[in-house]
Amino acid sequence: MNDFPLPGIVDFLKKVVPFNTLPPAALHEAITATRIAFYPVGERMIRMGEPTGDFLHVVQTGCARVSITDESGEELPVDFRGEGDSFGAVSLLKGGNALFNVTAEEDLIVFLIPKAAVDRLLEAHPPFRRHFGFSLARNFKAVRKSADDQLNLLTRDSQVHVDTFMTGKRVRDLMSTEPLSCRRQTPVREAADMMKQRGVGSIVVLNPEGRPEGILTDADLRNKIIAEGRDLDTPVGQVMSAPIRTVSPRAFSFDALLDMSHFGVSHLIVTDGKQTVGIISEHDFQLASGSSPIGMIGDITRATTVPELVDKRIHIDRVLEMAMQRSGSIKPMVALIAELNDRVTRQFIRVIEREMAAQGYGPPPVPYCWLAMGSEGRQEQTLCTDQDNALVYADDSGADDGSVQRWFLELSKRVVDALERFGIPKCRGGIMASNPQWCMDLSHWQKMFAGWIDDPTPESLRMASIFFDFRAITSEFNGARKLKDALTRMAAGKKHFARVLAKNALNNRPPLGFLRQFVVEKSGEHNNGLNLKLRGLTPVVDAARVLALELGVTSTNTLKRLKAATKKKVLRPDFLAAIDDAYDYINFIRIDHHLKAREAGTQMNNFVDPALLNPMERKVLKESFTVISQLQELMAGRYQSWRVQDR
């Protein structure tokens, strides 16, 4: 099958990572030798242990199943590849026979790019080379781990089921097709009867143009009809849940699950362009995996005492560890950790507020907001993290007798202690809301921030690196937004502060020496180790913070800050992609190191001995550190041109 038009291949590949980084001439040269192949459903394209052929396979349409064959000959699926995904790269780049089977899960059209063409692209185009280096090192480890876990689960009794959403499945693999639908004027009685007849828990509500505008679920029937005593002839449009949340059928199922968790919904409408093609629910995930982060969130919000909430930690840890072990990218895992930690913190606050009221402390004296700082504020915390939090409350117009702060310090002490019992250690530096220094009214916070900016000292710069990444955990008081707006105004035009902050950010250099050799610790507890956090991740976090303050960006997340800097033409899009890959990969190695330590029962830390990494991992780690060095060079050039006396 070689009659696919050349312009069609070009149009497709220039939208696919990493081919979208190639100049037009290089892309055209590569595809002149490209072949097109069709594989019907069930056909085996690559067989484990056999030669793969000298081609990189890029999926144009359809879906491929990646699997391993165990000693008994049973095939165990470990990944799925869809439109724009590739396979065969590991064997193509490393040599040797295939590590996995690849079979057409659906009818499949694949572009076959010859090894010689791929080699030329790898040699001449660094972004292309970086992508495959990062992706291979991550995915090789993740897929092999997934396969190992599948084998282990066959031989031991486990109460924790394999989470299907972690094995690369797409929404289309789990969704229900032909969703039940009705119009907004349909009586609830009729809609409920339709749901009963079909045996489903939801019905999609369509607008006059036939597009989804809402959804009626079992929960809506219970909470809005039965509980409120409404007439069953009430039009569906008056009680439906709206607006709806949608997802693409090609999205990874884990991303859909994360959306459900974030928005607090149990159903997503699956749309392809303007067409509704299905619906996916929490129940679909439970059927597929036996466990669900949404189920965990329900457990968290139902807890009514501190001990009950503390008991949820074991189950959360199990699912988080399984999630991390199965993903080729750390971003979804870190997002899930942030979501769960936020929910846990908010529930502790609710429970402890009720306890204090019952004990005679009364309700909060003024509105307040619990703040997350540091990695938690950036939504980038991992398994190896401690508490960084604070509290801001509304300015009290009454007599300043200290009673307001005393109430909030009592709340904060209890919440901090509860979080420690839950397994999140206290900050050794005392950066916690239980410290009177970090539990203040809005005016005092604003004065403190202004002092740090107007007179930057080594200590204030250290504090800024923690506190300027703050984020609201509770939303009853908009103190975080007011404080963020004030910080943005204070930092605007303060070139001296930006320059000093940038200079401070350049103190932690990536651990690469002459001829790009690793520079490891030479003595002490972590001899021969690389500090991945301090020397790899922190330089990126610090650079993003400086750029955000200079450019007036209010987001605290590192990648979002860098994306904003790219939109403002400070960073090139291709360089942003390289930084993103490097940051993600270093974090991936770090999390893998944490998991190994936890499994071995040893203390988790951020030091990795490069001698324990395989050659590919070491090579990609060097590439990652090189990219971060380039970011620091950009920062040095940008801010060292600003004279110290510019204020």
pLDDT in tens, 208-248: 888 899 999 988 898 898 888 889 999 999 999 988 899 98
Let me know the angle formed at the C-alpha of 268 by 265 and 273, rounded to the nearest 5 degrees.
145
Q: What's the sign of the alpha-carbon dihedral 507, 510, 138, 150?
A: negative
Class of domain 6-123: mainly beta
- Rounded Cα distance between 494 and 382, Å, is 33
Q: Is the pLDDT of residue 255 over 60?
A: yes
Structure tokens at 114: 């010859």
Say whether pLDDT at 200 is over 70: yes
Residue 158 pLDDT more than 70?
Answer: no
The answer on pLDDT for 98 being more than 50 is: yes
- Highest mean pLDDT of the ranges 332-341, 394-403, 574-583: 574-583
Q: How many CB atoms lie within 10 A of CB 281?
A: 22
- Residue 150: pLDDT band (50, 70, 90) is very low
In this predicted model, which residue has the larger pLDDT, 96 or 325? 96
Task: For residue 127, name the pLDDT band (cuts at 50, 70, 90).
Answer: confident
Point out the least confidently predicted range of 164-173, 443-452, 457-466: 164-173
H helices present in 125-236, as ranges? 126-154, 171-174, 188-198, 218-220
Q: Which pLDDT value is given to residue 147?
A: 43
Is the pLDDT at 77 greater than 80? The verdict is no
Its CATH class, for the domain covering 492-647, is mainly alpha
Q: Which of 237-241, 308-312, 547-551 bottoms out in mean pLDDT, i.e. has the lowest?
A: 308-312
Q: What is the pLDDT of residue 289?
A: 54
- Residue 299: exposure state from Cβ atoms within 10 A (0-12, 13-18, ≥19): middle
**Residue type (1 letter), 463:** M
Average pLDDT over residues 252-267: 77
270 in Cβ contact with 313 (< 8 Å): no
**Which is it for the CA torsion 550, 551, 556, 558, positive or negative?**
negative
- CA torsion angle for 551, 553, 556, 557 (degrees, to 10)? -90
Average pLDDT score over residue span 297-304 = 78
Q: Supply the pLDDT for residue 153.
A: 40
Among the ranges 168-172, 248-252, 479-483, which has the highest mean pLDDT value? Answer: 479-483
What's the token pair of residue 184?
Answer: 């907004």
May I ask the CATH class of domain 171-288? alpha beta
Question: Do you find a cis peptide bond into 179, omega within 30 degrees of 0?
Answer: no
Q: Which residues contact 513 (CB under 8 A, 6 or more apart)?
A: 519
Question: In the prediction, which pLDDT does 264 show?
Answer: 75
Residue 166 pLDDT > 70: no
Measured distance CA(117)–CA(427) in Å, rounded: 53
**Range 50-60 average pLDDT:** 86
**Residue 3 has what pLDDT?**
54
Contact between 323 and 336 (Cβ < 8 Å): yes
Q: How confident is the model at residue 20 (pLDDT cuts 50, 70, 90)?
A: confident
> Which of 21-25, 207-211, 317-321, 589-593 has the lowest average pLDDT?
317-321
Mean pLDDT of the chain: 83
Name which residue leads in pLDDT, 226 or 92: 226
Alpha carbon distances (Å) from 377 to 160, 380, 451, 465, 553: 30, 8, 22, 11, 15
List, by residue range, all CATH 2.60.120.10 domains of the chain.
6-123
What local confidence, expressed as pLDDT, does residue 159 receive? 29
Q: For residue 81, list its beta bridge partners.
A: 64
How confident is the model over 132-140, as a mean pLDDT? 60
In DSSP notation, 5-46 reads: -HHHHHHHHTTSTTGGGS-HHHHHHHHTT-EEEEE-TT-EEE
Sign for the pseudo-dihedral over CA of 272, 278, 283, 286: negative
- The single-letter code of the amino acid at 544 is A
Domain with CATH 1.20.120 in the chain: 492-647
What gap in Å lies between CA 260 and CA 282, rounded to an integer? 8
